Amino acid sequence: MLEKTAVFFDVDDTLLDNYSAFKCTIEKFFPEEFSDEAFLKQLYRDFRGNSEKIYQKFQEGQLNTKQNYNRWYSVLEELNQKDSVEIIALDEYYHFCQSKQRLSTEMVMLLNVLKKSKIFCGILTNGFTQQQQKKLDQLGMDLYIEPKWQFISEDLGDTKPNVSCFKKVASQLPAEIAQIYYLGDSYKNDIAPAHLARWNPIWLNRFADEGELLVPQATTNKEVVELLLSKLLTIK
């Protein structure tokens, strides 16, 4: 039954379009590189991967937050622009572009349908509380999901891809919740651990990444909305 079902969302590259913010930054600083979409997507995949590694090392006490700028070094190397621009300027402009992002039309529609249908919804996102809360605020998530069900890893005291992170969230949900769908973009951080935690992952695989599990996949917001709603409509 739908009243026993929950739908949880990742934030970065799921609800928040970080790729557009990345493209905005490249267009600003390196307009000559902006036209090759395939190259930009690969460049962003590397950038995203480095961001995840840096966050993981910070969690392990191996880095400080200032070293988050390091994710731009590989971008500059790929562009042969290593000495042409300050990485702090790149990172600041990226965050500026990121701050302009809003929920897509499709995600707004989905969240409104879920709210109207009284389907339990939540957020599970990696990151620092202050940064992630700012993103949640700019997306207006309080309109759709109660703040107490918006879980940020720093507050939770656990991080994805730890399966324990998902289990901690599940343990705090109302007892009647029997199944949880989780919409995320990262196979490593979202899909694989959600599956191991016995959630039902749906993969928003925007960049044609590879993964071993056979799980429902979509490549666009429109596709993922249709996929999730089709799953919910078959619940009896």
State the average pLDDT over residues 142-169: 97
| Mean pLDDT, residues 129-134 | 96
For range 40-58, the mean pLDDT: 87
- pLDDT tens-digit series, residues 66-117: 566 788 988 998 888 877 788 889 999 999 999 999 999 999 999 999 999 9
Q: What's the average model confidence in pLDDT over 152-157?
A: 96
Lowest mean pLDDT among 1-5, 213-217, 222-226: 1-5
Q: Give the burial class of 8: count Cβ atoms within 10 A of its Cβ; 0-12 exposed, 13-18 middle, 19 or more buried.
A: buried
Please give the model's pTM, rounded to 2 decimal places.
0.93
Q: For 2-16+102-233, which CATH class?
A: alpha beta
Mean pLDDT computed over every residue of the chain: 92
Q: What integer is the mean pLDDT of 124-153?
A: 97
Range 121-129 average pLDDT: 96
Confidence of residue 33 (pLDDT cuts 50, 70, 90): confident
Q: Which of 16-20, 59-63, 229-233 has the highest mean pLDDT?
A: 16-20
**pLDDT above 90 covers what percent of the chain?**
77
Q: What residue segments make up the domains of the chain, in order of their start?
A: 2-16+102-233, 18-99
Check pLDDT > 80 for residue 64: no
Q: How far apart are CA 77 and CA 90, in angstroms?
A: 14
Per DSSP, what are the bridge partners of residue 66? none
Tokens 């070293």 locate to 67
- Which residues of the chain form beta strands (DSSP E)? 5-9, 120-125, 150-152, 179-184, 200-204, 217-218
